[in-house]
Amino acid sequence: MEVDKGKGEAEETRKVAEADRDTVTLKSSDGKLFEVSKEAAARLSTVLAGMIAGGSIDDNGTDLKQIGSEALENVVDYCNKHANSIPSAALISSSISFNTAPFKEPEEWERKFVDRLSHDALFDLVEAANFLGMERLLDVTCHKISEMMKGKSPDQIREVFNIKNDYTKEELEEIRQELAWAFYDD
């Protein structure tokens, strides 16, 4: 959803009053511009909500120097999809149980959204969500990473995420002894 500058200028000429614009333009660390619904941005990101409320949104593109264009594209894509999604049946209280869990399972579209990402893109998105104070997106991405760990041994987790074991053999053995209860099925 990248906006080229020509189109941005054309919009300017439409003389839409600043305050009435229903989108905000965000600029990635590598200078690319993205447009996102103001309502969705304010609803999903505490940081963007603060900037919108505080008037620190730049119409020529608000600088987000910490976020690369690939991650920002995913953020904007997520906001737009979120704005258009219809809550699933599970959320429309058809169930008799009173669900008081703080985190609701990802919606089908959210699952698909994170499933298609490469490892690097997923970690970029986690960091972007954290930076922008996007609680729901952070939940969904953390949930995805937790799913990638489930049922895996420490060796398998190291392999999946390229984690380097910097323990000595003796140190490792000591920890494993202390945590024998957690390794009962080894």
Partner 1 sequence: MQKTEGEDRFSLLTDDILLSILGRVNITTAARTSVLSKRWKHLPWLLQELTIEAKDFLPGPLSCSAEAQHIDAAMALLTKAIRSFLATHQRFSSLQLKLKLYLVDNYSDTIGPLLSEAIGVGTVKDSDLSILGEKESENCNDEDMLQQASSVDGFFRAYTGVLDCLTRLSLYNVFFSERDMNHILFDCCKQLQHLYLSNCDTGGLAAWKIHAPDSNLITLELDMCFLGKLEVLHLPKLERLRWDGWMCPNAPLSFGVVPCLTRLAVRFATFRITSAVHNRLATSARIVSPGNRKLAAPITATHHTEIHTNPAATIR
Contact residues for partner 1 (CB under 8 A)?
96-98, 100, 118-120, 123, 126-127, 130, 138-139, 142-143, 145-146, 149-154, 157-158, 161-167, 172, 175-176, 178-185
CA distances from 21 to 14, 38, 93, 163 (A): 11, 8, 35, 46
CB of residue 158 vs partner 1: minimum separation in angstroms? Answer: 6
Q: Is 32 within 8 Å of 69 (Cβ atoms)? A: yes
CB of residue 120 vs partner 1: minimum separation in angstroms? Answer: 6
Considering the complex, state which of residue 11 and residue 135 has its C-beta at the smaller distance from partner 1: 135
Considering the complex, state which of residue 56 and residue 97 has its C-beta at the smaller distance from partner 1: 97
Strands 33-37 and 62-63 turn out to be unpaired
Q: Which residues contact 8 (CB under 8 A, 6 or more apart)?
A: 25, 33, 60
CB of residue 114 vs partner 1: minimum separation in angstroms? Answer: 13
